Structure 1
Amino acid sequence: MDAVTAQRTYGGVSAAERKAQRRTALLDAALEIVGEDGQAKLTVAGLCARAGLNERYYYENFEHRDAVLEAVLDRIAEELTAAIVTALAGAAPDSRAQAHAAIHAGTSVLIDDPRKARAALIAGMATPELRARTARTVRAFARLVAAQGSGFYQVEIAQNIVDFRALYLVGGLTQTLTTWLAGDLDLTREQLVDQITDVFVLLGDDLAGRR
C-alpha cells in the first residue's frame, strides 16, 4: 500500500466515507439539539461536543452555524419527498386514496419524530435566511403537488391556476400542522389527516371538473 492510499484509507474506510460519516454525525446531533432544546441552543461548540467531534470537522462541512440547520432542513425535505412519492406509488388510483396516502406519509415523518417537526416548522422560521429557505421548500413541495395533480387528472388547466391551488394547499397544510402540533387544534391524528385530505380532494376534483 503506497503512502497516498494509506492516507486515504484507514481501517478499511476511505477518507470520503469518513467525511460523510462525520457530516451525518453532525446532522444527527443538530437535529437532537434543535428538537430537544431549540434553535437558540445550537452552537458549534455544543454541536461538536454532542457529535463527539473536533470543531475543525464542523468547518470541514459547514461555513457558519446556520449552515448545519439548513442541511438538516434539506435532509428532512428529502425524507418527506421520498415518503410521499413512495406512498403515491402504492396507493389506489383514485383521488382520495392518492391524497390520503401522500398526506398520511408526509405528516407521519414529522409527527412520528417531533424533533423533525420542530426543526422544519419552528426552527426553520428562526431567521430571515431560514424563513426564505423554508419558503423555497414550500414552493418546491407545491410544485410536486402540482405535478402529481396534473399527472393524475390528465386535464388541460392553466398552469398559473394549478400552481396557485398547489401553493395554497401546501401552505395551508404547513400552518395547520404547526397549529395542531402546538396543541391548538382539537383533532385526533386520524381526523387531521382526513380533514386535510378532504380539502386536497375538494380543490383538486373541483379544478379538474372545470376543465
Structure 2
Amino acid sequence: MTTTSRAYGGVPIEQRRARRRAALLDAALEIIGTSGFAKLTVSGLCTKAKLSERYYYESFTDLDSVFSELFDRIVDEIGQAVVTAFMTAGPDIRAKTRAAIAAAIDVIADDPRKARIATVEAQLNPALLMRRAEVMRSFAGIMLAVCAEEVGADVVENAGEHAEFAATHLLGGLWETTNSWLAGTLPISRQTLIDRSTDQFLLTASHLIGSPLD
C-alpha cells in the first residue's frame, strides 16, 4: 500500500486531507464573511479551524488561494442550487426561471457571510477579478444551454452574439441589483426582487426569439 492511500483509524489519508481542507475553508468563510479578507491570517485561520499550520501549507500556497477556493465553493453552491431549482420547478418557463433566480438569491441572502464574500470582498480582491469574469461567462453559457433546450438550439443559434450578450447582461444586472438589495439601497422585498428579475429575463428572452415566453 502506498503512503498516499494509507489509512489512519480506518480513514484514508485522502479523506483526512479533504476534511482538513474543508475545515480551513469553513474557518475562512467565518473570518472573511464576518471581518473581511484583510483580517485573514494563517495563524488566525488555523486557530479557527483547530489545525496546525503544517496542514494549511498542505492544502494552500497563500491566503489568496484560500479566498479563491472559498469563492469557487460559494459559486458552485449557487450553480448547483440554480440547476436543481430549474429542473424541479413547474413545467412552464416562468416557474422554472423564477425558481432558478430565487435559488441563486437565496444562497447568498440566507447567509450574510456568503453575501459579503460574493458581493463585497470578491470585488475588492484583485486576485479574483479574472475569476469573477470566468464565472460570469460560465453562468452565461449554462443559461444559453438551458434556453436552447427550452426553445430549441436553432433559435438560440440564430440569435447569435445577441444571445450571448443578453445572457451576460442579464446576469450582470441580476448580480448588481442583488448587491444593491443586500446593501439596503434597493428597498424592495426579496419576493419583489425575484419577481421583477424574472420579468426582465423573460422579456429579454422573448424579444430575442421573437415570441412571448410567458
TM-score range, shorter chain: over 0.9
Name the structure 1 match of 2:96. 98
| Unaligned residue ranges in structure 1 (runs of 5+) | none
Name the structure 2 match of 1:42. 40
How many Å separate the matches in 2 of 1:132 and 1:123?
14
Do 2:159 and 2:208's aligned partners in 1 also have CA atoms closer than 8 Å? no
Instruction: Tell me how far 1:72 sits from its aligned partner.
Output: 0.6
How many Å separate the matches in 2 of 1:48 and 1:115?
19
How many Å separate the matches in 2 of 1:188 and 1:153?
31
How many Å separate the matches in 2 of 1:107 and 1:122?
15
Name the structure 1 match of 2:117. 119
The one-letter amino acid paired with 1:136 is: E
Instruction: Tell me how far 1:95 sits from its aligned partner.
Output: 2.3
The one-letter amino acid paired with 1:157 is: N
Name the structure 2 match of 1:134. 132
Do 1:31 and 1:115's aligned partners in 2 also have CA atoms closer than 8 Å? yes
Name the structure 2 match of 1:63. 61
Do 1:48 and 1:54's aligned partners in 2 also have CA atoms closer than 8 Å? yes
Greater mean deviation of Cα atoms: 157-166 or 63-72 = 157-166
Q: SS of 2:22's equivalent?
A: helix
Do 1:39 and 1:126's aligned partners in 2 also have CA atoms closer than 8 Å? no
The one-letter amino acid paired with 1:153 is: V
How many Å separate the matches in 1 of 2:52 and 2:28?
15
Name the structure 1 match of 2:14. 16
Instruction: Tell me how far 1:101 sits from its aligned partner.
Output: 0.8
How many Å separate the matches in 1 of 2:182 and 2:100?
19
When the two structures are superposed, what TM-score results if normalisation uses the length of structure 2? 0.92
Name the structure 2 match of 1:51. 49
When the two structures are superposed, what TM-score results if normalisation uses the length of structure 1? 0.93
Instruction: Tell me how far 1:158 sits from its aligned partner.
Output: 3.0
The one-letter amino acid paired with 1:81 is: G
Q: SS of 2:158's equivalent?
A: coil
Instruction: Tell me how far 1:13 sits from its aligned partner.
Output: 0.8
Name the structure 1 match of 2:141. 143
Name the structure 2 match of 1:86. 84
Name the structure 1 match of 2:200. 199
Name the structure 2 match of 1:184. 185
Greater mean deviation of Cα atoms: 26-35 or 154-163 = 154-163
**Could you list the per-position Cα deviations for residues 170-192 of structure 1 after superposition, in whole angstroms to 9, with x for gaps in the alignment?**
10111111111001001001111
How many Å separate the matches in 2 of 1:164 and 1:152?
19
Do 1:125 and 1:131's aligned partners in 2 also have CA atoms closer than 8 Å? yes
Do 2:82 and 2:104's aligned partners in 1 also have CA atoms closer than 8 Å? yes
Q: CA RMSD in A?
A: 1.7
How many Å separate the matches in 2 of 1:45 and 1:132?
28
**Could you list the per-position Cα deviations for residues 1-33 of structure 1 after superposition, in whole angstroms to 9, with x for gaps in the alignment?**
x8x67x821111111111000000001000011
**Could you list the per-position Cα deviations for residues 132-164 of structure 1 after superposition, in whole angstroms to 9, with x for gaps in the alignment?**
211211111111111111221212423311100
Instruction: Tell me how far 1:92 sits from its aligned partner.
Output: 2.2
How many Å separate the matches in 2 of 1:136 and 1:92?
30
Percent of residue pairs bearing the same amino acid type: 47
The one-letter amino acid paired with 1:171 is: G
**Structure 1 ranges of 4+ moved more than 4 A:** none
The one-letter amino acid paired with 1:63 is: T
How many Å separate the matches in 2 of 1:159 and 1:129?
32
| Unaligned residue ranges in structure 2 (runs of 5+) | none
Name the structure 2 match of 1:169. 170
